[in-house]
Structure 1
């Protein structure tokens, strides 16, 4: 009888300790400083392995436009721990992508010309996929050549404003048109 009580008590202690250790990080908050090429989507990928935290991060940090964040801003990231096992894999992939990306700060003029050519071709590719290059294309709330949310254009649907807003959106969210094209190819949208 004593052995069975000891066994039951030991099992209860082991289960309790496992639950206590397993749930200690369940609602962990982390302070994250936004980097120059970050977007809420990239940050969510780092912490959750998918885009599930984008709206939560925006809400928790009082961000009015989730597509516009600024380098140096400190964000409070709350995760529920449910997808924490995915995050390290995604971080490794992001680090591998960052290693492959060329440094653009002090590139020779020839490399800058090639880069702007790549940017132009990626931008043209997206415009063709999104609207067949039409500034007047509409799809519900999405407007113009780059199918931007109407709220981003703030009532000005002119080609000049579409170009300016599209560049701002793509640079803040994907770090450039090449990144947006890669995302589009992987997901069917950008």
Structure 2
């Protein structure tokens, strides 16, 4: 049963990841850290985010790349949700790993369902890890794109919930019925 749960999580993660990409290829209003993979070029990275080569010069300039043909596996690039790319020096980090980032616009019942999921997935911890699942909502590491900050986890969880369930209460009902969300 656990294998089935993990396979379903992987498949739904990739499906929702595809749904969360906007027309320009950027995740709406969410910064992410892109980790250079084997075979990546500035052109292929630009294509992943803009579906064309329009970001090549911006990526090179904003990340102080002196040779645009030299990328290194594991190199990090911060991709801003507004389409701007900046160096890792500009990335904000959180020193409070266990802060409770609540969304004020949620009703009390939605907030309660969200908290219920977090408690059942990770005990509320932003650093909990179970295989390829990480953080407060046990999101797939690939889905988090290298940014493990609590703020990013909250944003990705919110997008996942909206795309898959439409509400935290519906996500909670699914969790109760299936043992995962």
Same fold (TM over 0.5): no
Higher relative contact order (CA 8 A, sep 6+): 2
TM-score by length of 2: 0.44
TM-score by length of 1: 0.42
